């Protein structure tokens, strides 16, 4: 998977670890891009200077830290990557909407239209058959 880190205002350097193994160091820049082939990956990206929270893109799609379960420590970013990253990301979107709307797991499906509406569909199909 392709990872991109970007900070508009500050240059930063980083060292990327996967599963506790250092992969590479990247010199100071506003933007860094690299590839992670060894999946599943537990990434730790040590960043200098501290407290930088860059934009993170996975396969060119900017991700939300909370939904992507990225932990921003003062000195590093930590998160997991796998082939099903965006499936998990999508589940987290639904869960975030559920919590925001204060609904249970069945009601959220109805509210956001993940419900197949089978009964209504059957009635319509019957009318046109």
For other proteins, the binding residues (CB under 8 A) are 8, 57, 60-64, 67, 86-87, 89-90, 93, 110-117, 120-121, 123-125, 127-128
Nearer to other proteins, 23 or 94 (CB): 94
CB of 25 to other proteins, least distance (A): 26
Nearer to other proteins, 48 or 96 (CB): 96
Where would I find the H helices in the chain? 85-101, 105-112, 118-128
Burial call 110-127: b when 16+ CB within 10 Å, e when fewer: eeeeeeeeeeeeeeeeee
Measured distance between the N- and C-terminal CA atoms of the chain, rounded to whole angstroms: 47
CB of 17 to other proteins, least distance (A): 25
């Amino acid at each position: 998977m392709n990872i991109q880190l970007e900070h508009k205002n500050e240059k930063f350097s980083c060292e990327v670890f996967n599963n506790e193994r250092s992969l590479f160091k990247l010199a100071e820049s506003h933007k860094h891009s690299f590839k992670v082939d060894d999946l599943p990956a537990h990434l730790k990206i040590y960043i200098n200077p501290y407290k930088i929270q860059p934009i993170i893109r996975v396969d060119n799609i900017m991700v939300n830290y909370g939904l992507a379960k990225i932990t921003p420590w003062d000195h590093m970013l930590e998160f997991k990557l796998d082939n099903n990253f965006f499936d998990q990301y999508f589940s987290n979107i639904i869960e975030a909407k559920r919590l925001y709307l204060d609904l249970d797991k069945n009601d959220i499906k109805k509210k956001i239209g993940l419900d197949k509406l089978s009964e209504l569909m059957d009635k319509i199909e019957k009318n046109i058959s």
